[in-house]
Amino acid sequence: MSPGELLEHYRRVGWRLGLDPAPDFSVSGYLATNHDVMKSGLEPLEHFVRHGRLERRSAVPVGVPSGTAVASEDTGNRIAERDSTEPLSISLGPSSAVSQRRKALGAYLEEIGLAALIRPGVEPGDVDSEYYRSRYARLITPGQTAEQHFGSLGWRQGLCPTPWFDTTFYSVIYSDIRDAAINPFEHFCAQGYRERRIPSSRSHFRSESSMLSLSLADEVKGWRQQPQVPDPWLSIDDIATGARALSLDGGDWVVAFGHDDPTVVVGGVQMCAGLESTEFVRSGSNYLYVFPAVPLPTLADPDVPDMGLSVMVNGARVTGRFLLSQLADLSGLLLAGRPATAVVVHSLFGHHPEGLGEQLGRIGSHRWVWWVHDYMLQCASPTLAHNGLRACGNPPPSSALCRTCRFGAARTDHVERLRRLREARPWETFAPSSTAANVSVSGAERLEHPPQVVAHGRVVSNGTSPRRLAGEHLRIGYVGRATVAKGWGTFLNLIRERSESAVEFLHLGTDPSGEPGVEFVPLAQTFQQGDAAVAALWVAEIDAVVIWPEWAETFSLVTLEAIAAGCVVVCPQDSGNVVHLAAHYERAVVYDDEDAMLADPNLFNRIREVLGTHLKRGTMVFDGLTPAVLRGTR
């Protein structure tokens, strides 16, 4: 770099990475000695020149411990008087400091279980040239080193410099680094490990001290601030008039609760609510589905009980919203004072359990059905994952894992509020899989009795032949939102590390990722188009779908959809009902972990072997929802 480029690098990026501009000024030392500067976000050298010297603050030379508050006045004056155009020597400091930093980085990698992935002869913090070239050789120009390619271009493309660092994961999780356009690997090795950040989605993360940058309170605030066009507030008589226009004359009523509008939002819980609504109507019953007018990723504030609600009746949205305190009145108008045939809980995120409990006491019901679609009865994190990233094993709320998780502070109150609601009524608990049932009675916060297992649905073969014979170009897909926790990072790693001319990669979803080398196939689906994903997979001629959740899935409709479309399912052994369904229908290609999958030279051949069994397209049959529970047929 030229002197000007060095200076620009330091001012824009270098100091944020903890890099020192000269031998006589330590960025980390100055910030550690002056906490007000650290909190202000000001560049430390400029602060010292403009203010610190006049305030008789110390310029801590490189190599002097940060707690040492002395440095000669001559040193301070020399730094302050340096011409701003004078070349800066960006370095990690003397060799002893470099060695100490490498040692500290290695210790942190050892602590979080990643040190074993550092290959012999490679120092912590260095680009692993052999690893990098083995995966990206086709991208490196002749005469260019792996370090040069990664430093100039590779990190911007999301390439991984070592087996233990996932560039895409780090950029997605830490938006401050992404927004600052900082090389994620440089940041982690210079500063991120000190902040106990998580370097990889591929590791079995064990640190009890890492935290995400976004708190749960910040996330809730963000949800509330999202642009919305809410339904108008209407009287309960007007809401009842709209509901009656959609209801069946003389039919009984089932009252169900979920966390958002299933007529417009795509997801597993929404699909279940919509599908069982259709089934109830088919059998002559009315289905009133109640959800928050403003959805939230937590329970509603306990201090604001009179929240807004909206409803769907028999699969159609009723315009208008009303207060929770009016719910029993609405029920009285629709049910003519009779108790409901059943009250069903699918999800209570966004709801106020205390206010809801009071209303349910006035409504009354012959049956009380609670579905364990996720693990919200055990934690505010519905996947039971530490910071939403890695399965935590349901530890005690007082554990270090909970103390360092953004869901931890809310957990005890969250669980207690739901427990009181459950104890007030004779709820029957049902789970869509043995995985969901087993996890519900495991760990610290557990249900007293295991839920009854009633699978939501199954695949029935319709005899349609496979699209083509195995052996041609493989088409491998990812279905749904491009989120790391759902396996998007694994899908990208597969593309970058195992791409071949005979393999094509496709993403089926609502929003294109813009990822090079990935063909995007638009897919919009609600319960009204329940087979849209199956049809899209079939038309796109997808041979295999990568389904790689970071926790044990309770059901996974996308797995059922992939099987119905005649696809092979590539998944991890600990994916819960994903691997169970795939194995049951003999569609599974299973690995212990992502490293094993990426390292397997026979991965694509294994997919072809399963395809060679002449898989048939099938039809999804949802005969295990609440109607079957009430009939006692499943």
pLDDT digits (tens, 9 = 90+) for 568-586: 999 999 999 999 999 999 9
Q: Does residue 387 lie in a domain region?
A: yes
Q: How are beta strands 518-522 and 503-509 bridged, if at all?
A: parallel
Q: Does residue 32 lie in a domain region?
A: yes
Based on the fold, state whether residues 255 and 363 are members of the same structural domain. Answer: yes
Q: Does residue 222 lie in a domain region?
A: no
Based on the fold, state whether residues 334 and 386 are members of the same structural domain. Answer: yes
pLDDT at 71 over 80: no
Amino acid found at 586: E
- Among candidates 204, 201, 182, which has minimal Cα distance to 191? 182
pLDDT at 344 over 70: yes
Q: Which of 107-116, 308-317, 359-368, 472-481 has the lowest mean pLDDT?
A: 107-116
Based on the fold, state whether residues 447 and 496 are members of the same structural domain. Answer: no
Whether this prediction's pTM lies above 0.85 is answered by no
**Domain end position, chosen among 414, 438, 453:** 453
Average pLDDT over residues 200-212: 46
**Domain end position, chosen among 136, 170, 192:** 192
**Residue 482, pLDDT score:** 83
Q: What is the three-class DSSP state of 316? A: strand
C-alpha–C-alpha distance, residues 520 and 534, integer Å = 16
**Residue 228, pLDDT score:** 64
Based on the fold, state whether residues 409 and 521 are members of the same structural domain. Answer: no
Based on the fold, state whether residues 247 and 293 are members of the same structural domain. Answer: yes
pLDDT at 81 over 60: no
C-alpha–C-alpha distance, residues 98 and 115, integer Å = 18
Comparison of pLDDT for 140 and 612, the residue scoring more: 140
Q: Does residue 629 lie in a domain region?
A: no
C-alpha–C-alpha distance, residues 28 and 194, integer Å = 11
Q: Which of 216-220, 487-491, 614-618 has the lowest mean pLDDT?
A: 614-618
Based on the fold, state whether residues 512 and 568 are members of the same structural domain. Answer: yes
Domain that holds residue 568: 458-621
- What percentage of the chain has pLDDT greater than the value 70? 82
C-alpha–C-alpha distance, residues 352 and 372, integer Å = 18
Q: What is the CATH number of the domain that holds 570?
A: 3.40.50.720
Q: Does residue 185 lie in a domain region?
A: yes
266 C-beta neighbours (distance < 10 Å), count: 20
pLDDT at 493 over 90: no
- What percentage of the chain has pLDDT greater than the value 90? 48
Average pLDDT over residues 451-456: 95
**Residue 381, pLDDT score:** 93
pLDDT at 497 over 80: no
**Residue 214, pLDDT score:** 61
Q: Does residue 628 lie in a domain region?
A: no
Number of domains in the chain: 4
Based on the fold, state whether residues 284 and 411 are members of the same structural domain. Answer: yes
Q: Does residue 573 lie in a domain region?
A: yes
Based on the fold, state whether residues 243 and 330 are members of the same structural domain. Answer: yes
Based on the fold, state whether residues 416 and 393 are members of the same structural domain. Answer: yes
Instruction: Find out whether 620 and 560 touch, Cβ atoms under 8 Å.
Output: yes
Instruction: Find out whether 380 and 298 touch, Cβ atoms under 8 Å.
Output: yes
Buried b (16+ CB within 10 A) or exposed e, 532-542: bbbbbbbebbb
Based on the fold, state whether residues 258 and 398 are members of the same structural domain. Answer: yes
**Residue 94, pLDDT score:** 43
Q: Is the dihedral of CA 264, 266, 270, 271 positive or negative?
A: positive
Average pLDDT over residues 27-44: 70
pLDDT at 170 over 90: no
DSSP class of residue 379 equals -
**Residue 611, pLDDT score:** 87
Based on the fold, state whether residues 256 and 377 are members of the same structural domain. Answer: yes
Mean pLDDT of the residues in the chain:
83
Average pLDDT over residues 123-140: 90
**Domain end position, chosen among 453, 477, 492:** 453
Instruction: Find out whether 274 and 317 touch, Cβ atoms under 8 Å.
Output: no
Based on the fold, state whether residues 543 and 467 are members of the same structural domain. Answer: yes
pLDDT at 467 over 70: no
**Residue 72, pLDDT score:** 43
Average pLDDT over residues 399-419: 89
Comparison of pLDDT for 516 and 357, the residue scoring more: 357
Please write down the HEC assignment for all residues of 128-173: CHHHHHHHHHHHCCCCCCHHHHHHHCHHHHCCCCECCECHHHHHHH
